[in-house]
Every structure is written in structure tokens, then in C-alpha cells.
A and B are shown apart, each in its own frame.
Chain A
Amino acid sequence: MQPDGKISGLDRFRIMRETRIGSFAPVLLALAAIWAWFGLALPLWDLASGEADSFRAIFLSPRNIYNLFMQSALIATLAVGITTVLLLGEIDLSAAATAGVCAALLGVLVLAGIPGWLACLIVMAIGIVMGAAQGVLVAYVGIPSFVVTLAGLLGYQGLMQKILPTGNLNVGDPFVRGFTRVLIPDTWGLALGMLCILLFAYASLQRQARRRALGLEVDPSPALWGQVLAFGTIVIAVIVTLNAYRSLPLLLVLLVGITSLLGWITTSTPFGRSLFAVGGNAESARRAGFNVNRIRVAAFGIVGLMAAIGGIFGASRFGSVSYTAFAGGSLLLEAIGAAVIGGTSLFGGRGSVWNAILGALLIGSLGNGLDLTGASAADKLMVSGAILILAVAIDALSRRDGSVGQ
């Protein structure tokens, strides 16, 4: 029905974005470009212009990469949560404030002598309630999520100030601090990475074999092995780099674990399918028998949970809870930016939590790189804005459909 052979560049681009790996390509390329710029181009320029007497790859040094990952982890945790509501076509502006309230509560609870693990569980439950409450307003009362979560942003900011009248509280609890302080020994880290790669390869091959047995279209073998190879290279490279400075921190293992779980839920369960269906066409989803309202509440509950986890991670990393680090700072916009830059559509129905991780890494790299080159805060804001616009433009272009082929 469609005239074959006449596919414009834009169509090609859209088709590529639809594939599993293709959706990672733009953000991976952007990340590579930023790393090449800060890691190679700028040091070489310094060397050539005589400003530096030797090649100094500060940005790509293991120490900086380690810091970069840790800096991005908090943004990534929130971005992963925000991705779930973006899939529905909703937005959550209150995630950072929720994280702030949860972190402040955590600080108060451990100060009151409640054991760290219990305090973490309590704030996670509170995070879910804070998120789901907004979800109820969106789904059952019918207020646009932008307004509900804007009110949530203001209200939760105020709540955080109430909990922390001084605006600052140190968190010394060993359990909470442990998330960032505990390092996985080098060999264990490598073994864990190998295990992940083996599982990935096994799952891919298993799937391929079943496809063949059922007589379905089979992905070409080079593509399959290319995926396994790319996945393996990235995992090993990350672990080796982190080992070269310290070791694999527990925080990153937890972040990847939680993201895997959420990634699996969003792509491979009926619940996840319902998220995409509601994001794509809520009325169709309703007629197909999905309980759209309950799905909305659940998605907002997940953001709340991820925000609470983000609050715990933040408190663990900073060793303190402060108003500016969470609610009052740029965390919220960075997290939403990370989700969108990763390639999750603001219009709903397309995206992935893994893209949010890459987006967070990209935002983190940009901030880190500009800091290292001594750029001013003004420069950072302007570059971040430009990147965000670029990402949304890519989203809008790849969304315009219906005219493919005719």
C-alpha cells in the first residue's frame, strides 16, 4: 500500500527511533559528543595553544567519571520515576519536592533513634502516599496533572521547610550513609557485570530460539550479537573505570537494579502495556477494558516511591539534608530534562526508563564538564536550555506521523 523504496530521511529517522536500540542512539551519540568535547577536544586545544604543558584528560579520568556517576545518580532516580508518568502523557512537577520531604523525614526519623532501615521503609511508604494522592486528584477529580503537581511542588516545599526549620540537618546514620560508602570489591564487581552480560545473552538467545520455533520473524544474527557485544562492552568498561578509581559503589548497583525492575515492569507486564496504551490513546485503552484511573494513580505512586528513594540516595550522598539540594534547587528541572533528553516523549506513549538514565548522565556530564572548564552558572543554564530544546525538537519530529509513505 505504501510506495516502497521512497523513504525520506525523516521517515528513516522515525523508523530508526521505533527500534529498541534506535531509541538509544540519539542520546548515546549526544553523550559521546559531550564526552569527546570535554574529554579530548578541550584538553587537546589547551595543549596546542600552549595553555597546558601536557595532555590532561581530567574529564575522562576515572576519578571524575566516578564523581560524574554519583552526581547523576540522584537525577537519574527521579528521572526514572518521572518517566513512568510521562509514558501516560502526564507530568510530575513535585518529584523533587517529594524527594526533599522524604529526605527531611528520614533525617528527623534517624535523629529520633529509629533504625536506618526502618526509617527508609517508612519514607518510601510516605513517598508512595504523596505520589498516589496526587494521582487520585488527577484521575478521579480530573484536574490536569500539571496543576495538581504544581500545587504539590509548592505544598511539599512548604512541608519540607516545616520539617526542617533550620533548612539543614546532618544525617550520620551508618545504614543510610552506607548506600554511597559501601563499595563492591573489584573482583565481585566484575563478576556481577559478567553475570549480567551472561543473563542478557542467555535471554536474547532464548528468545531468538523461541521465535524460530514459533515461526516468527527472526532478528538477524549480527544485530543480536551486536546488542550483546555493545551491552557487554558498556558494562565492563563502566566497571573497570570505576574500579580504577575506587570500586563499584552500592548506590549504582541499587540504581541499576531498581531501573531494571521498573524497566521490566513497564515493557514486559500487562501493567506496563497498559501504561503505554493509556499514553497512546486513553479512550482506546478504556474500551479495551483497562481501568485507566487506577493505572494513573499507580503511576503517580511509582513516581512518589522513586522520589522517596531519590531522597534517601541524596541524604546518603550528601550526608545531610538541605532545602536547596532538593526542593529549592534545580533538581526537578534537571530530572524532567533528563527524562525528555533521554528520548521519552512528553506527549505520552513512548519512552523507556533506561533512556532516563542516559539522559541523567548527559545532564550530569554537561554540568560537570562546564564546571571543569570554569564556565559560569549563566553558561551552564544556557547550554542546558539549548540541549533541552534540541531533545524536545527531536521528540516532536519523530512523533509527527500518519504521513509516512503518503
Chain B
Amino acid sequence: MIEDRTFKGRIFALVNYFLLTIIALITVLPFVHVVAGSFTTSAELAAKRFILIPTEWSFDAYRFIFSTNTIFKAMGVSVGVTLFGTLFSMLITSLMAYGLARRDLDGRKYIMFLVVFTMLFSGGLIPSFLVVKEMGLIDSYLALIIPSTISAFNLIILKNFFQNIPEGLEESAKIDGSSDFGILFRIVLPLSMPAIATLSLFYAVTYWNTYLNAIMYLNDSKMWPIQVLLRQIVVLASGMEFSSDLDATVPPPEQTVKMAVIVVATLPILCVYPFLQKHFAKGAMLGSIKG
């Protein structure tokens, strides 16, 4: 579209930019406030009404939360679950998506129906819990990964993406004697990098953010991932488990400590976000193509 150069058009554009700027600010200011608050002293946080840039820098909050290994351990659990979970999910999802994308697979329509139906109807919380329990996964990190291996939504996106790869490429590979596995790993996957990147991010975010599965399946607080610990510290504000591990002679600067834990739990996502962000638009568009 061409710029509207009438007076009314310019006023309209100006108001539009202004409103969007306000919306963007409202969205990010809470984060800025929390990050800034985590890097200052509690005295400054209490004295000032609004801090975006602290005048008095301090790492006390971080020194405090890293004075024991509680946070390190929880971060380690989350990183491990995220890495293994994402790899496992992507492997199983790609295999299934490729099979379903092949038009010569008998029964693919029925299988697709069974997949889509799980998006509309589910057995619910209790029966799912009982299944996981029967499999002996309670109090095992596998309980955070295996029950959420495949997202039907991600599977359908990937299947649609695979279907759009020209069939001729696969045909010629087959004539050259490639196996189905060979075609998937040597031809189809390398051609699908935008989709792989987007879906890996989706899975990784899900695993990093896992909370419900953790409180359902892990009874042992030593196994907690960072999200559960964060809730324990900030939302319950009890932090019993947490503060008992720490040196009781130093009273914690409470607000700043909460903020520091929030920052630590958010950091990994903020780190990968810029790299993967360029793929989003493409990834979401794939989702809108109907299967």
C-alpha cells in the first residue's frame, strides 16, 4: 500500500504509531522494572516509586540466591529436561510427520483422524495421571518428557510442511536406492530447517515452562525444575524449603530476591528468542495451511 498523504491520513498514522508505542511500552515495562529491581538494593527499591534504571547498582540479590546450590540444581533440571525433551520430541514428531506426509501410506487418513480427535476430546487429568502412575514414572524426570512427547498441533504443522516438498526429489532419491529413513534424514529434514527451528523452539519453551506435570508427578522437592521453585519463592512467598538452606544471619532483601529469581528463570528464553524469532512468522503461517 502507498502512504496516505492527506492531512487526515497523516493524523491517523500519527495516532496509530502513538497507540502502538504505548502498547509496546506497557508490554515490556513490567520486565524492565523487574530486571532493574533485581540489580538494586532493597533500600533503593523501597525509597523510589518507579525504577527503570537503578542509581545504586547492587548484586546482593544474585549473591543471595546463588549462595546455595538450590537454584543451580533447579536450573540444571530444567536445562536437562528441555534439551532431552526437545530432541526426543523432535525425533518422534519428525518420524511420524514424515510417514503421514507420504501419500502412498495406507491408512494415513484414519491415523490423522485419530490425531485430530485428541485435540477435540481428552480423557482429562485423573485418567492421564493414573496411566503415568501405572507406568511407574512417578518421581522420575521421564514423567516430564514422555507424557508430552508429541503435540498434535506441531505434528500437523510439520506434516503439512513435508507435504509441500516436491515429491520428485524423494522419487529420484528412491530410484538411487535411498531408504525411507535416508530420504527423511538426508533430503526432507535439511529442506525443512525453518519448520524444524520453529517447532524445536515451541517444544523447548513447553519443556522449559513445564509446571503442571512437575507438581503432579514429582513429589520430591529436590527434583523440582526452576518453574516450581520460582512459584514456591514468589507466589507462595513462603520459600520455606528455600530459605532454610540459606544463611539465616543475613535477612534477605525480599522484593529484590524475588525479582532476581524471576530474571534467572526468564534468561534462557530471552537468550534464544532473538535467534529464533525470524522463523516465527513462517512457522505460524505453516500452521494456517489446512491439512
Genuine A/B complex:
no
